[in-house]
Amino acid sequence: MGFWKSFFGGEESNPEEEKKNAEAKTFDLMKYDGVKAMRIGQFEYAEKCLREALKIQEDLEVRDYLSQTLVHLNRLPEALEELNAIIKAEPDNTAIMLHAAHVAYMQEDYEQMKSLCEQALSVDADNAMANYMMAQAALGQADMINGIARLTRAIALNEQLGDARLLRAKTLLKLGDVNGAAEDVAWLVAHTEDEEEVLLMAARVAHVKGQNDDALTIYNKVIDLNPFQMDAYRERGQIRYEQGDKKGAEEDMQKLLEMNPNELADVSGDYSAEGVEQAMKRVYSAINPFGL
């Protein structure tokens, strides 16, 4: 039979080859549909497609897409499983290690985050982002000294790493090193343009240094940029309260309670003068200017 097919130019059918070709087509289809679904926000369908693709063949890119999908579905432990599988296959892939470390950070698993950063640093000790994320893990475990040391190392490796400077400023302010925090804030203000977190830190440092007029000006700017920035209302109101500007402090507290009725557990939508004054006294008196 095979002779006659060969003689007339035909080819013998190969069931095994046909099966492989069919599986390859199905794999490509599932992968394509999964990625497309993920990019348009259809995460449940994306997960289904990507898992079907992995049943057909192992593919690290598919696992990466699946991990991203699981993060969007807020299934962080499962996302970490996929990322760890990639790390096992690619032990020098620092980008995936840091992605996994970020997922660990999202679920406040600082020990696992630290371990992943250590893996990345064992591959590339001069990786600024790995040092920065190691600092995040240390600070998450209340290890302020190592946190600052890692942040300083990250900044030395990449002086443009603004996130590291911002986190160091926050940490130094908590430790009472106002001048150190002020130096980082000054750099950030000079190298960024109207970033809320930077402006808030600048206002906090000004407040702690007793430069309340400057702090109020900065808080006003933050609120102009974002009328829903609750920290700005809360902290501006505190300064107004301290300065005896009861009317201004009440206005900020009123705005704060409108945006977040649960600002105080025992003040639930009470916008009467008495309710606002009660909230104002308790909230403003409790704010620690050092961020503690």
How many other CB atoms are found less than 10 A from the CB of residue 113?
Answer: 26
Mean pLDDT throughout 145-166? 97
Question: Quick one: which of 75, 67, 70 has its CA closest to 95?
Answer: 67
pLDDT at 43 over 90: yes
**What does the pLDDT read at residue 30?**
96
CA angle 84, 148, 288 (to 5 degrees): 110
Which pLDDT tens digit goes with each residue over 71-129? 999 999 999 999 999 999 999 999 999 999 999 999 999 999 999 999 999 999 999 99
Q: Supply the pLDDT for residue 279.
A: 64
Asked whether the CA dihedral 125, 126, 130, 131 is positive or negative, the reply is positive
* Average pLDDT along the chain: 90
Q: What is the pLDDT of residues 187-200, one digit of tens each?
A: 999 999 899 999 99
Q: What are 121's two structure tokens?
A: 């640093």
- pTM score, two decimals? 0.84
Averaged pLDDT, 13-19: 76
- Alpha helices for the chain (secondary structure H): 2-7, 15-39, 43-56, 60-72, 76-89, 94-106, 110-123, 128-140, 144-157, 162-174, 178-191, 196-208, 212-225, 230-242, 246-259, 273-286
Residue 10 pLDDT grade (very low, low, confident, very high; cuts 50, 70, 90): low
Contact between 270 and 261 under an 8 Å Cβ cutoff? The reply is: no
Question: Distance between CA 66 and CA 79 in Å, rounded?
Answer: 7
Q: What integer pLDDT is reported at residue 273 of this predicted model? A: 47
Which domains, and CATH codes, for the chain? 195-292 (1.25.40.10)
